[in-house]
Copies of this chain bind each other. A is one copy, B any other.
Amino acid sequence: MNSPDDTGAAQDPRADAADGRQATALDMLRDELRAFAGEREWEIFHSPKNLAMALSAEAGELIEVFQWLTEDESRHLEPAALGAARDELADVLLYLVRLADTLGIDLFDAARRKLAANARKYPVDKARGSRRKYDEL
């Protein structure tokens, strides 16, 4: 995504192109995780299959924070639960970024496209106040 080809910015792809600049948070994490895994020689363990499992396990830990709370309680977490949620959200993001990297997927671009697709699937006038899936709207 930050390659000149993608952004059309020949000299510094992050400097001008809106998308290029926006992606840098995820790019930075990607690069740091790549270095982190490389230094520890963990690439051999970091198959996409294994990383998908690790992400899913972290999602399970996130669920654990909320499982016995009411929805209302989940909106007003106590400090300990909020700290636990923060840690698990971070873990999910780290594995997500690492998994995307091993697959050569641009996360930010994928998310933007999905969001655009969701906007088409859930038109405001039909989806307002509804929990239905798009194919039931």
Contact = CB atoms under 8 A, between A and B. Distances in A.
A86 B110 contact: yes
Given A61-B60, A90-B114, A131 B40 contact: no
Interface string A48-84: 1110111111111111111111111011010000100
Copy tally for this chain in the complex stands at: 4
A56 B60 CA distance: 6
Contact of A77 (B24, B66, B103): B103
Interface residues of A, number: 80
B85 A96 contact: no
B99 A89 contact: yes
A52 B62 contact: yes
A106 to B, nearest CB: 9
Contacts of A113: 90
B53 A66 contact: yes
Interface of A: 21-29, 32-33, 36, 39-42, 44-45, 47-50, 52-72, 74-75, 77, 82, 85-87, 89-94, 96-97, 99-100, 102-103, 105, 107-108, 110-115, 118-119, 122, 124, 127-131
